[in-house]
């Protein structure tokens, strides 16, 4: 049997929601897994890269591959181990630009294996296994559910994720610079502890974010998309970010500008009325410091990971 899954890109944090808020974008990875019948053929992993990325060479093609690890955990969940498997990973989502490429392949491996095994795991189990591998639920949950998602990760490993009613006309301009930043490096610059006033600052802003989304309140959203828990520590890793935020502050149509996940990409939440100007502001700030960027304006997709083929 052969199963193919499609999984959206995601952006985590959204400013105030460090490690708990994320949204899904209509850019996709495609994962196919096939149980082969030839005993002893082992694991075969193929990667089809849609972006000709150098870093794809470094992705393991053996049992250290993260898709394989996700599949193995699901087999283990039902007391089995995968034997002969062919895995194909088609990377529509650029790698290491913090568009949730790792969350997407983890989720893809899990939902494809779940289909292959006859649905032993429900959504809560898939969320919990995927979050355990990724280390935080903010990309995983929107990759599974689609939309804008708020997630809680409890001490016992359970994940509770709730979709928020994101207005369709709030778009995301995602600005992807031409250099990589691994989440590991970007997490390594964060402090172990933060001042109480900064924790309270984010608490206030994330509460406002939820209310803004529920009431479609653009002014409240503008106020809410701020952060003191991670962005201030990461700006040194993303040259031009402060300048871009400053330049966009009073631009018509901009609802907020945040670091996308752990960076280096930047996400501008906007109302769709001034897209070209927004793109121009970002690209010229980066051009001034010799950073090239790909910039796309996309809606949030309400559709999460799904099985698109089964044979
Ligand atoms: N919440 C994670 C971080 C997201 O900021 O490190 C990584 O995409």
Q: What is the DSSP string of 109-152?
A: HHHHHHHHTTS-S-HHHHHHHHHHHHS-STTHHHHHH-SEEEEE
Selection from 235, 246, 259 nearest residue 22 by Cα = 259
> Span 219-234, mean pLDDT?
97
- Predicted pLDDT at 119: 96
pLDDT of 290 higher than 70: yes
Residue scoring higher pLDDT (215 or 98)? 215
pLDDT of 43 higher than 90: no
With beta carbons less than 8 A apart as the criterion, state whether 238 and 181 touch.
yes
Q: Is 262 in the pocket of ligand 1 (CB under 6 A)?
A: yes
> Span 150-176, mean pLDDT?
96
- Predicted pLDDT at 222: 96
Structure tokens, 280: 């121009």
- Predicted pLDDT at 54: 64
80 CA from centroid of ligand 1 (Å): 32
d(CA 310, CA 2): 6
The overall average pLDDT reported for the chain is 93
Report the percent of the chain where pLDDT is more than 70: 95
Tens digit of each residue's pLDDT (9 = 90 or more) over 240-279: 999 999 999 989 999 999 999 998 999 999 999 999 999 9
- Predicted pLDDT at 55: 66
> Span 110-133, mean pLDDT?
96
Structure tokens, 287: 């051009």
Structure tokens, 148: 């804008």
Q: Which atom of ligand 1 is closest in space to residue 19's alpha carbon?
A: 1
68 CA from centroid of ligand 1 (Å): 22
pLDDT of 68 higher than 80: yes
d(CA 310, CA 1): 7
- Residue ID of nearest Cα to ligand 1 atom 8: 261
- Residue ID of nearest Cα to ligand 1 atom 3: 262
Q: Which residues contact 92 (CB under 8 A, 6 or more apart)?
A: 9, 27, 28, 29, 30, 50
Q: Is 19 in the pocket of ligand 1 (CB under 6 A)?
A: yes
Residue scoring higher pLDDT (98 or 13)? 13
231 CA from centroid of ligand 1 (Å): 11
Q: Is 136 in the pocket of ligand 1 (CB under 6 A)?
A: yes
d(CA 242, CA 246): 6
- Predicted pLDDT at 84: 85
Q: Is 98 in the pocket of ligand 1 (CB under 6 A)?
A: yes
Selection from 73, 103, 82 nearest residue 183 by Cα = 103
128 CA from centroid of ligand 1 (Å): 17
308 CA from centroid of ligand 1 (Å): 28
pLDDT of 138 higher than 70: yes
Q: Is 134 in the pocket of ligand 1 (CB under 6 A)?
A: no
With vertex at residue 25, the alpha carbon angle to CA 20 and CA 28, rounded to the nearest 5 degrees, is 115
Sign (positive or negative) of CA dihedral 82, 107, 231, 284:
positive
- Residue given tokens 């990759």 in the structure block: 143
Encode 256-289 in three state secondary structure. Answer: EEEECCCCCCEEEEECCCCHHHHHHHHHHHHHHC
Site to probe by mutation for ligand 1, drawn from 138, 149, 202, 206 as the one with most ligand atoms within 8 Å of Cβ, is: 138
Tens digit of each residue's pLDDT (9 = 90 or more) over 99-120: 888 899 999 999 999 999 999 9
- Predicted pLDDT at 155: 92
116 CA from centroid of ligand 1 (Å): 30
Tell me whether strands 21-35 and 306-310 are parallel, antiparallel or unpaired.
unpaired
β-bridge mates for residue 296, sequence order: 174
pLDDT of 51 higher than 90: no
- Predicted pLDDT at 300: 98
- Predicted pLDDT at 93: 81
- Residue ID of nearest Cα to ligand 1 atom 4: 261
d(CA 44, CA 136): 28
- Strands (DSSP E) contained in the chain are 2-12, 21-35, 43-49, 85-91, 148-153, 159-164, 171-177, 254-259, 266-270, 293-298, 306-310
Neighbour count for residue 141 (Cβ, 10 Å): 36
- Predicted pLDDT at 94: 75
């Amino acid at each position: 049997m052969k199963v193919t899954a499609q999984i959206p890109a995601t952006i985590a944090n959204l400013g105030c929601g460090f490690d708990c808020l994320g949204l899904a974008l209509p850019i996709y990875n495609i994962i196919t897994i096939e149980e082969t019948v030839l005993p002893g053929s082992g694991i075969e992993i193929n990667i089809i890269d849609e972006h000709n990325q150098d870093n794809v060479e470094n992705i393991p093609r053996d049992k250290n591959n993260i898709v394989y690890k996700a599949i193995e955990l699901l087999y283990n969940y039902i007391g089995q181990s995968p034997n002969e498997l062919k895995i194909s990973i088609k990377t529509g989502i650029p790698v290491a630009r913090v568009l949730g490429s790792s969350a997407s392949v983890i989720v893809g491996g899990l939902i494809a294996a779940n289909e292959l095994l006859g649905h032993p795991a429900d959504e809560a189990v898939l969320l919990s296994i995927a979050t355990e591998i990724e280390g935080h639920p903010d990309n995983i949950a929107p990759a599974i559910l689609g939309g804008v998602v708020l997630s809680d990760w409890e001490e016992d490993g359970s994940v509770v994720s709730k979709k928020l009613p994101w207005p369709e006309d709030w778009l995301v301009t995602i600005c992807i610079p031409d250099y990589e930043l691994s989440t590991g490096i970007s997490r390594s610059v964060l402090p172990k502890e933060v001042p109480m006033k900064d924790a309270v600052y984010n608490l206030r802003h994330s509460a406002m974010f939820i209310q803004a989304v529920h009431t479609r309140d653009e002014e409240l959203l503008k106020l809410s998309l701020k952060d003191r828990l991670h962005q201030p520590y990461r700006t040194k890793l993303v040259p031009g970010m402060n300048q871009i935020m400053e330049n966009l502050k009073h631009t018509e149509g901009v609802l907020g500008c945040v670091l996308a996940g752990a960076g280096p990409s930047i996400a501008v939440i906007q109302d769709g009325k001034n897209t070209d100007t927004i793109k121009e502001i970002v690209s010229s700030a980066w051009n001034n410091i010799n950073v090239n960027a790909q910039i796309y304006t996309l809606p949030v997709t309400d559709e999460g990971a799904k099985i698109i083929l089964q044979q």
